[in-house]
């Protein structure tokens, strides 16, 4: 994919998530079951980066622990929601900021653990995905860990739901790369204040927003992470907190460590 096209997609994704931020956040109010297990990789006193934090729900894992948490997202409106959503902590308060994952504003070797939950599959082109992972590597301390998840688009459930079968046979949109897909989000459009009084008598209005995803194959993702210098310690498919196979797994989880 041309780098200019990739950057255009990133900008469009930023605008899309700003537009649907509140509706998206309402679907992400609770932690997924598998997150609790991932929190075991964080020790008290660690500095944690939540890269692509959305509404900041991951902080729930650390609010009662002496952990320095920083959440980053390129959507200003999601960051606003993240700041509003957090309850007071008896330890250090979370810090949220707007930043681009492929241009991280942090020092080298600053973090003990980086979480990237359902983010990398939104980054177009091999070049920018590699830059994302290189940035993670540089931002981690020696021995630090990257905990990364992506959607498993190869499960039959999603292949049927989003009609992605052509992808299985290598077909793709002419402006995109093999494995790239556009997934629609049907967003409710609020009416004007005047019409809102009578909205219950009117049919709802919806707007479809297409979101870019790259459907990773397991070995493809492992190789990409390894090229950045990481050692992949563990990789598995998970469904509602239980490890499973690629046919049933909702997400693919990677635990990788920065080599000393």
Q: Which residues have C-beta within 8 Å of that of residue 25, sequence separation ≥ 6?
A: 54, 55, 78, 81, 85
Q: Which residues have C-beta within 8 Å of that of residue 249, sequence separation ≥ 6?
A: 152, 155, 236, 237, 238, 239
pLDDT score for 232: 98
DSSP 182-205: EEEEEEEPPPPHHHHTTGGGS---
- pLDDT at residue 231 above 80? yes
Q: What is the pLDDT of residues 54-70, one digit of tens each?
A: 999 999 999 889 999 99
Please report which confidence band the pLDDT of residue 25 belongs to, taking 50, 70 and 90 as the band edges. Answer: confident
- pLDDT at residue 204 above 60? yes
Q: What is the pLDDT of residues 171-200, one digit of tens each?
A: 777 788 889 999 998 887 776 644 555 555
What is residue 138's three-state secondary structure?
helix
pLDDT score for 120: 97
pTM of structure: 0.91
Looking at residues 217-242, what average pLDDT do you find?
A: 95
Q: What is the pLDDT of residues 83-116, one digit of tens each?
A: 988 777 778 889 999 999 898 999 899 999 999 9
pLDDT score for 26: 82
Q: In what order do the strands lie in the sheet containing 111-117?
A: 95-98, 68-73, 47-51, 111-117, 140-151, 251-258, 230-239, 242-244
For the ranges 29-33, 127-131, 154-158, 255-259, the lowest mean pLDDT is seen at 29-33
Q: What is the pLDDT of residues 36-60, one digit of tens each?
A: 889 999 999 999 999 999 999 999 9
Residues linked to residue 145 through DSSP beta bridges, in sequence order: 113, 257
CATH of domain 3-258: 3.40.50.150
pLDDT score for 191: 63
Q: Is 189 exposed, middle or buried (0-12, 13-18, 19+ CB in 10 A)?
A: exposed
Torsion sign (Cα): 254, 231, 216, 114: positive
pLDDT score for 214: 95
Looking at residues 13-22, what average pLDDT do you find?
A: 88
Where are the chain's structural domains? Answer: 3-258
pLDDT score for 164: 86
pLDDT score for 195: 53
């Amino acid at each position: 994919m041309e780098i200019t096209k990739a950057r255009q997609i990133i900008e469009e994704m930023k605008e899309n998530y700003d537009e649907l931020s509140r509706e998206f956040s309402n679907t992400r109010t609770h932690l997924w079951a598998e997150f609790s297990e991932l929190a075991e990789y964080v020790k008290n006193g660690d500095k944690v980066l939540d890269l692509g934090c959305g509404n900041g729900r991951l902080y729930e894992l650390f609010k009662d622990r002496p952990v320095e948490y920083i959440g980053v997202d390129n959507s200003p409106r999601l960051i606003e929601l993240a700041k509003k959503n957090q309850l007071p902590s008896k330890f250090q308060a979370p810090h949220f900021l707007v930043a681009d994952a492929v241009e991280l504003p942090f020092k080298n070797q600053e973090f003990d653990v980086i979480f990237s939950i359902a983010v990398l599959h939104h980054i177009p082109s091999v070049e920018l995905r590699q830059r994302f992972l290189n940035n993670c590597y540089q931002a981690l301390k020696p021995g630090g860990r990257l905990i990364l998840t992506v959607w498993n688009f190869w499960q039959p459930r999603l292949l049927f739901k989003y009609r992605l079968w052509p992808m299985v046979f290598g077909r793709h949109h002419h402006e995109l790369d093999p494995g790239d897909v556009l997934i629609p989000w049907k967003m409710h459009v609020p009416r004007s204040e005047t019409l809102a009084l009578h909205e219950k008598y009117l049919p709802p209005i919806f707007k479809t927003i297409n979101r870019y995803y790259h459907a990773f194959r397991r070995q493809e993702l492992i190789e990409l992470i390894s090229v950045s210098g990481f050692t992949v310690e563990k990789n598995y498919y998970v469904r509602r907190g239980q490890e499973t196979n690629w046919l049933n797994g909702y997400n693919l989880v990677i635990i990788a460590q920065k080599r000393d």
